Amino acid sequence: MPRQPFIAGNWKMNKTIGEGIALVEELKGMVAGIDDVDIAVCPTFVALAKVGDAIRGSNIMLGGQDTFWKESGAWTRQIAPGMLLDAGCRWVIIGHSETRGRFGTVEDELERVLSYFGEKDITVNMKAKAAFAAGLTPIIACGELLSERQAGRTDQVIAGQMKIDLDGFAKEDAMKIVLAYEPVWAISTGQVCDAEEADRVCGLIRAIVKDMYGADVAEAVRIQYGGSVKPDNAAELLGKPNIDGALVGGASLKANDFVGIINGARA
Ligand code: PGA
């Protein structure tokens, strides 16, 4: 069975509720009838429910940008997977480098410790399991820093993340997981990863999945590439055998650009 391409827009900390509704209203008309690409948008938490109302009945799905591993309780700031489901989500991004607190270089790690969330592989794994338990499907992101790539450690970093992030799922859940290879140095920099190299790392990720869960799961799992995907580089990336979609940041904020990428998956 060929894997259906999946293009997800991660709006990050952009768009008010009104702006988000306006964007999906525009998108709805432009993607109506497309059934050979899965399409999702991931607005901020506060915009989820309203954007979810606006896309109900369309072929655009809703995703959260993060979640927590507890169902409810005294966890200030956190959003439970069941709450995302309740708001209309079907997907949730987990382990994005911005929630892992991985930016730029290893030197920037101090900033991560002081200012950001410092997600760990073990919490990525716990969140993904909690997402399945609530009826969501996780999109798990991984990727290396520039300094790790320059030190020739890319494959080791990716394997280290994947082995913990993907540990211990039921096989039927593992099959549904979406993985996103997002080299940190390519995110929001305009410096896209070379398509051959992105395909090579996505192939490595698929091989790790095969080791952990077998060939049938590795064949079924969709692996997105993320990091400066734009309409003009989408078709080349999405044409590669191991790249099954894209996790799109900046270019998902404009309907024309996002649709250009969706069309790249159909080229
Ligand atoms: P970008 O972000 O497309 O703006 O580079 C990608 C991502 O962070 O998922």
> pLDDT of 110-140, one tens digit each?
666 555 667 889 999 999 999 999 999 999 9
CA distance 60 to 164: 31
Q: Does any ligand 1 atom lie closer than 6 A to the CB of residue 253? A: no
Positions marked catalytic? 96, 182
Taking CA atoms, 71 is separated from 49, 79, 82, in Å, by 19, 9, 7
Arithmetic mean of pLDDT, 201-216: 98
Burial class of residue 30, CB neighbours in 10 A (0-12, 13-18, 19+): middle
3-state secondary structure at position 143: coil
Residue 152 — left, alpha, or beta (φ > 0 → left; ψ -120 to 50 → alpha)? left
Cβ count within 10 A of residue 235:
16
- Nearest atom within ligand 1 for CA of residue 180: 9
With a pLDDT cut of 70, the percent of the chain lying above it is: 94
Cβ–ligand 1 contact at 41 (below 6 Å): no
User: Does ligand 1 come within 6 angstroms of the Cβ of 161?
Assistant: no
**Count of alpha carbons within 13 Å of 217, Cβ hemisphere only?**
21
pLDDT-based confidence at residue 109 (cuts at 50, 70, 90): low
Query: What phi and psi, each to the nearest 5 degrees, are found at residue 27?
Result: -60, -40
Q: What rounded mean pLDDT belongs to the chain?
A: 94
- pLDDT, residue 113, reads 58
Report the residue among 11, 15, 179, 247 best suited for mutation to probe ligand 1: largest number of ligand atoms under 8 A from its CB. 247
Q: Is the CB of 228 under 6 A from ligand 1?
A: yes
Tokens of 248: 């799109």
Determine the Cα–Cα distance for residues 182 and 168; give it in Å rounded to an integer.
23
Distance 99 CA to ligand 1 centre (A): 13
Q: From ligand 1's centre to the CA of 10, what distance in Å?
A: 7
For the CA of 250, the closest atom of ligand 1 is 4
**Ligand 1 centroid to residue 230 C-alpha, Å:** 10
Residue 238: its H or E element: helix 231-238
From first CA to last CA, the distance across the chain in angstroms is 19
Cβ–ligand 1 contact at 229 (below 6 Å): yes
**Closest ligand 1 atom number to CA of residue 12:** 8
CB 225 within 8 A of CB 193: yes
**Which residue, chain included where needed, has tokens 């966890």?**
75
Pairing mode of beta strands 245-248, 222-226: parallel
In angstroms and rounded to an integer, the radius of gyration of the C-alpha atoms of the chain is 17
Note the pTM of the prediction, 2 decimals.
0.94
Position 256 scores a pLDDT of: 98
What pLDDT is attached to residue 77? 86
Q: Is the pLDDT of residue 5 over 80?
A: yes
pLDDT of residue 26 exceeding 60, the answer is yes
Ligand 1: which atom is nearest the Cα of residue 186? Answer: 5
